[in-house]
């Protein structure tokens, strides 16, 4: 097997790969700026320098020469090499800053050059606290600046497009942002202008940086030169908790982090999952978070009057008692989790109603072949795998207007807002609305309204359009302590004792709502149905063995990055389906 020696430690390898990535994968923390694993390596920052050598081969014997102690004599390349642009090869010997004074000196000098014209504005920079330049300056840089002249000034506060703001002085010209638009998104909307120390990234004349993936350059910029117009100056990184979860926009199931301060979502950034979204997130997936903070419901109501939760659950159960199952319609939701839809299915079954259907939320032509999808809801596939079918809006409307339905149970959707029917058309039905998110149009028709926790406030499972089941984790707390939820919430550096219960959120921002897996068993109990699961984990344990289409979808199997579920066999009758229609 081929071997490489790094700082006197020998590693085996099978395939050639870039030396920098090989080191990073094995915990050798080589400093770098311009390298990104998904893009070409221009080797322009010079921060990843290392000493590289090969065994000195005896031309006569073809074997490595050895010294008097029997050690292989290594011939090092006279100049330091950029590890990001060099492939590993058999017998290679590498010295990093851990074993070479020359490398330590080179990294320090490179940082000194990078910092010569860099503004000293870390105290007001959004990147401070998670800035590679700041971190590496602390770890590998000089202790102070010897530069006594005026720094080069460049344009600041430039709106490159609707979502990205440039501070030219902070840029270190790593070209990651340029390469992103050339090699990844292929919009070619950024280029470098000016020359030498004066250059910085810019859009070509007459072009706006408005591609649908523009905000990815903010994440890959290794300094604070590119900031989000939406999130800049809103919160420092140490004030926010960061929770790993899944995007709720579209059916791709992109992995993301929700950043929370004072129990409000402040921003959404990508989480690397090479099986789903790789390193990236669409702008629409980042910017659609205000609905988690604003216009949230203020507790349960019955006929518009505020009531306690116990009264609301009882009122919902009373609506279900004695209902003729054939005249009840249950609407599940592609916005709700697999667990909640499953419990709704059981509730519908217990009153003799047919299986819930879910409403389609598709905008034809909206998607691309990357992260944006026509389907605007995150869990239609999860609903399908539970055996639910998508409802046809016109057909449901017809059933309501012809008097076929007495009771409509709506879970986490807005049939009026979706155009299925009007409030007036719902007036003669008993409507139990277990709604989500913001106050919605269907609320006006609800006899009983039960605020539901959103996808950033619950534990649950979404299945993306490719059949990848992934876990949701709560990023925000809701009113009342729920241990299952609280234990999953990320911590921030300001949490005093390092536990999720120490969060320094504002009590005013706690929404009075419950996840479906809390509310539905309470309603079920009111009609004598026992849905006694020990939380959503137990529901998925059951489904992973009882449902062929969700086989293996346990929380343990899903872990951090989800699990690909077996593809369901396509029934012959399904092949004629053209998708959703209204
Ligand atoms: S703006 Fe950031 S990503 Fe772009 S070249 Fe400058 S430092 Fe690199
Ligand atoms: S990371 Fe290697 S030169 Fe920039």
φ, ψ of residue 544 to 5 degrees: the values are -65, -20
The helix (H) or strand (E) run that includes residue 158 is strand 158-159
Residue 580 has pLDDT above 70, yes or no: no
For the stretch 498-514, pLDDT in tens is: 555 555 556 778 899 99
> What angle (nearest 5°) sits at the alpha carbon of residue 158, between those of residues 154 and 164?
130
Q: Which of 28, 35, 50 to mutate to test the pocket of ligand 2 (most atoms within 8 A of CB)?
A: 35
Q: How far is CA 43 from the centre of its chain?
A: 29
List Cβ neighbours of 142 (8 Å cut-off, separation of 6 or more). Answer: 108, 111, 112
Residue 176 has pLDDT above 90, yes or no: yes
Measured N-to-C along each axis, helices 309-320 and 516-526 cross at an angle, to the nearest 10 degrees, of 60
Q: Is 531 exposed, middle or buried (0-12, 13-18, 19+ CB in 10 A)?
A: middle
List Cβ neighbours of 264 (8 Å cut-off, separation of 6 or more). Answer: 293, 476, 509
Using the mean position of ligand 1's atoms as its centre, give its distance from the Cα of residue 346 in Å. 53
Using the mean position of ligand 1's atoms as its centre, give its distance from the Cα of residue 570 in Å. 47
- Closest atom of ligand 1 to CA, residue 175: 5
- CA-derived radius of gyration, the chain: 29
Q: For ligand 2, is residue 81 a contact (CB within 6 Å)? A: no
Residues 156, 157, 158, 164: what is their CA dihedral angle, to the nearest 10 degrees? Answer: 130
Q: For ligand 1, is residue 171 a contact (CB within 6 Å)? A: yes
Residue nearest to atom 4 of ligand 1 (CA): 177
Contact 494, 236 (CB under 8 A): no
φ, ψ of residue 216 to 5 degrees: the values are -65, -25
Of 457, 450, 479, 458, the C-alpha closest to 313 is: 450
Residue 415 to residue 392: CA distance in whole angstroms: 11
- Closest atom of ligand 2 to CA, residue 42: 3
Q: For ligand 1, is residue 235 a contact (CB within 6 Å)? A: no
> What angle (nearest 5°) sits at the alpha carbon of residue 500, between those of residues 494 and 505?
60
Residue 507, pLDDT score: 73
For the stretch 332-379, pLDDT in tens is: 999 999 999 999 999 999 999 999 999 999 999 999 999 999 999 999
For residues 473-492, average pLDDT: 81
| CA 546 vs CA 168, 370, 549: distances in Å | 57, 33, 9
Q: For ligand 2, is residue 393 a contact (CB within 6 Å)? A: no
For the stretch 234-271, pLDDT in tens is: 999 988 889 999 999 999 999 999 999 888 999 999 99
For residues 73-83, average pLDDT: 97
Place of tokens 């530069």: 147
Which strands sit side by side in the sheet containing 241-246, from one edge to the other?
Answer: 241-246, 255-261, 264-270
| CA 7 vs CA 19, 28, 93, 413: distances in Å | 13, 9, 8, 58
pLDDT classification of 577: cutoffs 50, 70, 90: very low
Q: For ligand 1, is residue 553 a contact (CB within 6 Å)? A: no
Q: For ligand 1, is residue 223 a contact (CB within 6 Å)? A: yes
């Amino acid at each position: 097997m081929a071997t490489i020696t790094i700082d006197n430690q020998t590693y085996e390898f099978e395939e050639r790969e870039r030396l920098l990535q090989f080191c990073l994968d094995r915990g050798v923390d080589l400093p770098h700026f311009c390298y990104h694993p998904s893009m070409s390596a221009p080797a322009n920052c010079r921060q990843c320098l290392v000493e590289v050598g090969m065994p000195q081969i005896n031309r006569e014997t073809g074997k490595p020469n050895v010294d008097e102690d029997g050690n292989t004599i290594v011939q090092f390349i006279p100049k330091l090499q950029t590890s990001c642009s060099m492939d590993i090869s058999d017998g290679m010997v590498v010295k990093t800053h851990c074993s070479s004074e020359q490398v330590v000196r080179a990294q320090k000098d490179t940082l000194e050059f990078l910092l010569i014209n860099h503004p000293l504005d870390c105290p007001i920079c959004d990147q401070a606290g998670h800035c590679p330049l700041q971190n590496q300056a602390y770890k590998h840089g000089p202790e102070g600046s010897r530069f006594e002249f005026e720094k080069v000034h460049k344009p600041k506060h430039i709106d490159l497009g609707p979502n990205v703001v440039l501070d030219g002085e902070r840029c270190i010209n790593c070209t990651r942002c340029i390469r992103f638009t050339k090699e990844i998104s292929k919009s070619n909307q950024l280029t470098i202008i000016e020359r030498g120390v004066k250059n910085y990234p810019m859009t070509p004349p007459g072009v706006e940086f408005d591609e649908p993936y523009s905000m990815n350059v903010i994440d890959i910029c290794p300094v604070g030169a590119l900031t989000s117009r939406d999130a800049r100056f809103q919160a420092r990184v140490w004030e926010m908790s960061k929770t790993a979860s899944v995007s709720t926009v579209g059916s791709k199931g992109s992995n993301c982090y929700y950043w929370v301060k004072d129990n409000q979502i402040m921003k959404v950034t990508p989480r690397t999952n090479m099986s789903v979204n790789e390193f990236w997130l669409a702008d629409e997936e980042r910017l659609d978070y205000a609905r988690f903070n604003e216009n949230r419901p203020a507790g349960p109501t019955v006929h518009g009057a505020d009531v306690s939760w116990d009264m609301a659950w009882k009122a919902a159960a009373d609506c279900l008692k004695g209902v003729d199952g054939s005249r009840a319609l249950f609407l599940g939701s592609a916005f709700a989790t697999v667990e909640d839809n499953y419990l709704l299915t059981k509730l519908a079954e217990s009153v003799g109603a047919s299986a819930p259907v879910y409403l389609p939320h598709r905008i034809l032509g909206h998607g691309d072949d990357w992260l944006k999808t026509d389907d605007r809801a995150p869990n239609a596939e999860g609903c399908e795998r539970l055996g639910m079918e998508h409802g046809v809006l016109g057909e449901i409307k017809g059933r309501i207007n012809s008097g076929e339905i007495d009771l409509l149970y709506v879970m986490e959707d807005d049939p009026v807002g979706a155009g299925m029917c009007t409030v007036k058309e719902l007036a003669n039905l008993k409507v139990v609305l277990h709604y989500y998110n913001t106050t919605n149009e269907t609320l006006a028709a609800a006899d009983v309204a039960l605020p539901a926790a959103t996808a950033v406030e619950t534990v649950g499972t979404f299945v993306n359009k490719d059949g990848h089941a992934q876990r949701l984790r709560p990023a925000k707390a809701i009113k009342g302590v729920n241990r299952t939820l609280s234990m999953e919430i990320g911590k921030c550096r300001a949490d005093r004792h390092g536990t999720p219960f120490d969060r320094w959120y504002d009590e005013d921002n706690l929404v009075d709502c419950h996840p479906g897996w809390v509310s539905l068993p309470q309603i079920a109990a009111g009609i004598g149905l026992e849905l006694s699961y020990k939380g959503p984990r137990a529901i998925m344990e059951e489904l992973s063995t009882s449902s062929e289409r969700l086989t293996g979808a346990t929380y343990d199997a899903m872990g951090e990055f989800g699990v690909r579920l077996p593809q369901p066999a396509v029934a012959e009758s399904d092949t004629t389906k053209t998708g959703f229609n209204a």
